[in-house]
Structure 1
C-alpha cells in the first residue's frame, strides 16, 4: 500500500501538468470553437470578450458555408497529400531497404546519405526544394545537361487540378471509404479467427454501404456544385516530403529485414520457393507490423503539416493550402478565433482517428502477452 501511495505521489505532478496544459487547453479550445469569438471585430481582441454560445455553427460554416470554400479545398489537399506522401515514403523506403539488404559495396556510405535528409528540419527542406523547383531553373533545367530542352512545368505556381469531384459527394465517398476499411477489418477478423468482430464489421459495413447508395447519393451539403481536386502545386511539396522521410522508412524496413531469422528464409528455399515467392509469402508479411507503425508516424506528420508548405509556398497561396495553414490565417490574421479553434479540434480528431486505434491494438497485444 505504501508503495502505491509513493508511486501516486511521484506521478501526481506529471498528471496535474498533463491535465492542465494538455486536456485543460483542449477543453478550452473546444469551448472557444462553440462560441462566436471573432465575429465581432470589437470583441475579438478585447481583454474580456463577451462570447455567445453558438453550438456547432462554426463547424457547419466550415463545411457548408459560402465563405469557407478555401477551407474545403485545404481538406481535399490534405487528403491527397497524406495518401501520396505515405505511399511515396513507404515505397521508396522499402526499395532502398531492399537494395541495402543485399550488402552492396559502400553500404554504410549510402545508408548515411539516405538517412541524412531526416536530420533536417522541414523549414530547411522546404527552402532547398523551393530553390530546386523554380520554374526557370533547378529541376527544370536538368534535361539541358544531356542536350534536351528544359522542362516547363511551373511546379509550385500551377493552379491546375486533377481528380476533381463535387464537394456535395463527400458524404457518399466518405461512407464508401469507411465501409471498405470495415471490410478490411472483417477480413482480418476472419483470418485471426474472431467471429464476433467479423460479424460486427460486416454488419457496420453493410449499413454504411446501404446508407451511401440510398441516402448518401442524394445528400447535398451545398445548394450548388463546388468542384475540388488534387492541386498539382502540391506535387513539389510531396516530392520534398518524400525525400525527407523515405530515409526514416528505409531504416525501419532495413532493421526489419535484418531481423528476419535466417532459418525462415532457408526453410522457404528448401520448400522450393522462388525469390519473388519468398518476398511475397515470407518477407513482406513479416514486415507488415513495421509498415503499420510507419504509416501511423507518417500519417501523424502529414495531418499536422505546416512548416514545409510555409517554407515552400508561403501562407497566401490557396492551391497549396492545408487546414493548419488556413487555421493560422483565420486565427492570427483574421482574428476569427472560434473558427480557428474549430479547425484545431478537427485536426485533433483526425490525428486521434489515426493514432488511438493503433495504440488500442498495441495495448490489447500487451495484455494478451
Structure 2
C-alpha cells in the first residue's frame, strides 16, 4: 500500500490544484446555474428562492425573442461554417500546390487570428454601419468599391435574416479561415507521396486524384474542423456585441440575449439560456469525443 502511494501520490498532488479549480469554477458553477434556472430568482434579491421546476425553460421556448435568437444563431452557424470551410480549404489547396513565398502567405492568412474579436468587431462595425462616425465614413469610402454597400443596406435598412446574419458572419469567416487552412494544409502534407504517385501511375487525373485519393484522407480533419467551428459559432458573443451593441434585435443570438437578461438581474432566465446553450454544445461535442476515443482505442 505504501509503495502504491509513493508511485501515484506525487502525480496526484500535482494534479490536485487543477482538479479542485476545475471542479469549482467549471462543474460547480454549472451546477449552480442549473439550480438557479429551476428557481423563481428573477431579481437580484438575497435569500432563498422557490423552485419552479422547468417553468423558466417552458416560458423561454414560448418567447418570440428567444426563438428569434435561435433562428439567428442557426443562420449564423450555417453561413460561418460553410464560409470558413470553403475559404480555408481553398487557401490550403493553393498553398498545397506550391507557391513562391509560401511562408509569407501562411503568415498573412493566419494573421487575423492574432487580432482580438473585440478589436475586429469594432472595425467591422465601422465598415458595416456608415452612421457610426467619421471613422466609419472614412473606412467605407475606402472599401466601398468591394461591395460593402450591399451589406450595409441589407443590414441596417431591414434586409432578410440570411443577409443580416451573413454580414455578422463575414468578420468571423475572415478571422478563422486561416486556422482551418492550417488544419487542411497539415492534412495534405501528412498524406504519403506514394499514394499520389500510385494514383498517377494508374492514370488518374488531378481532379480524380483529389476527389478519390486526397480528399477522403482529410475526412477526419474535416470532421474536427466542423465540430470546432460549430462550437465556436455558439459562443460568438464578443464579436457580435462589438459590431451591433446590446440592443439589436435583428442580430441577437442566445449568448447576447443571455447577457442582456443578466443585466436586468433576471438570474433564473439567464441561467436557463446558459443551460440551453450548454446542452447544444454538448450535443455537438460529446459524440465527437466519443467517436475520437473509439477510433484511438481501435488503432
TM-score, normalisation: structure 2: 0.90
Report if the CA contact (8 A) 1:93-1:253 is conserved. Answer: yes
1:114 corresponds, among 90, 109, 114, to 109
Q: Which runs of 5+ in 2 are unaligned?
A: 132-136
Q: Matched residue of 1:160: which SS?
A: coil
Report if the CA contact (8 A) 2:110-2:179 is conserved. Answer: yes
Alignment correspondent of 1:74: 69
Q: How does 1:262-281 map to 2 (within 5 A)?
A: 262-281=193-212
* CA gap 1:282/1:139 in 2 versus in 1, 3 angstroms: farther
Alignment correspondent of 2:166: 235
Pair 1:321-2:243 in alignment: no
Report if the CA contact (8 A) 2:44-2:266 is conserved. Answer: no
Pair 1:252-2:183 in alignment: yes
The CA deviation at 1:6 is 3.9
Alignment correspondent of 1:12: 16
Q: How does 1:152-167 map to 2 (within 5 A)?
A: 153-161=152-160
Q: Which runs of 5+ in 1 are unaligned?
A: 39-43, 162-229
Q: Matched residue of 2:99: which SS?
A: coil
Q: Matched residue of 2:220: which SS?
A: helix
The CA deviation at 1:89 is 0.4
2:48 corresponds, among 26, 30, 50, to 50
The CA deviation at 1:286 is 0.7
Pair 1:32-2:30 in alignment: no
Report if the CA contact (8 A) 1:135-1:152 is conserved. Answer: no
* CA gap 1:309/1:151 in 2 versus in 1, 3 angstroms: closer
Alignment correspondent of 2:295: 365
Counterpart-to-counterpart distance in 2, 1:50 and 1:234? 41
Alignment correspondent of 1:192: none
* CA gap 1:45/1:153 in 2 versus in 1, 3 angstroms: closer
Between stretches 356-365 and 24-33, larger displacement belongs to: 356-365
Counterpart-to-counterpart distance in 2, 1:6 and 1:110? 46
Report if the CA contact (8 A) 1:126-1:312 is conserved. Answer: yes
Counterpart-to-counterpart distance in 2, 1:342 and 1:326? 11
Alignment correspondent of 1:339: 269
CA RMSD, Structure 1 to Structure 2 (Å):
2.1
Pair 1:299-2:298 in alignment: no
Counterpart-to-counterpart distance in 1, 2:110 and 2:192? 25
Report if the CA contact (8 A) 1:33-1:58 is conserved. Answer: yes
Between stretches 323-332 and 353-362, larger displacement belongs to: 353-362
